[in-house]
Amino acid sequence: MARATAAALVSAGVRVAILDRPESKGAEVASELGQDTTFHPCDVRDPVGTEEALATAVDALGAIHIAVNTAGGGLSRRTVTKDGPMDLDFFADIIALNLIATFNLNRLQAWQMSKNEPDADDERGVIINTASIAAFEGQIGQVAYSAAKGGLVSMTLTMARDLGTLGIRVLTIAPSLFMTGLTERIPDEMAQGLLRHAAFPRRPGRPDEYAKLALAIVENPMLNGTTFRLDGGTRFSPK
């Protein structure tokens, strides 16, 4: 989804900086996209390294006006099993990756945006975060993931209100099952089970469909403080 959004932004004439893990394909993607697209390696769970990478990205771009945050993920584990309660570190790690790391990026991105000159609509920037429909209908074993993604949804309006006087918008996209590097490992039978309650289309979402929504958000200044479900009418069943 990040790659598709970066490509869409470049096609729209936007200069892009990619932040991803050192072992990712970030450098390769930046080279493919061209137009001065840069890659800045970091692990978003490392707040110091992330701040340094973002500062380098801002130096490369000159400023930051659009931030699209897609980092996240996590395994499933029930609150209690026959072996005992969920390991607390497991829960904390999921929260750290999906919620705390995103908030850290948001606060740093917003600070940089606050230095921008406002445009004709008095806007200085827009932040787009990525949750999941698991924030609303988490399945069995997704308690940690649902809590993290629900946190992103819950902070969207509040952060938009926090940053409104600065001319910075904050929105969240909550996808259903999408074709990403993570979901490629999901067996077809399981994927079909997740999609059986979709209205239409009954297939995984495509990264370009995420990118189209992200660009629509960027282009429409009246969109703010809300979460958009991107799910084809899907509602996850308990399992």
**3-state secondary structure (DSSP) of residue 111:** helix
- H helices of the chain, in order, are 2-11, 26-33, 47-61, 88-95, 101-113, 134-137, 143-163, 188-195, 207-219
Is 210 an active-site residue?
Answer: no
Structure tokens that stand for 28 in this block: 């390769």
Contacts of 236 by beta carbon, 8 Å cutoff, 6+ apart: 133, 134, 137, 138, 139, 176, 194, 197
Structure tokens that stand for 46 in this block: 């490392």
**List 39, 91, 145, 178, catalytic entry:** 145
2-11 and 26-33 are packed helices; what angle lies between their axes, rounded to 10 degrees? 20
Contacts of 139 by beta carbon, 8 Å cutoff, 6+ apart: 76, 236, 237, 238, 239
| Active site residues per annotation | 145
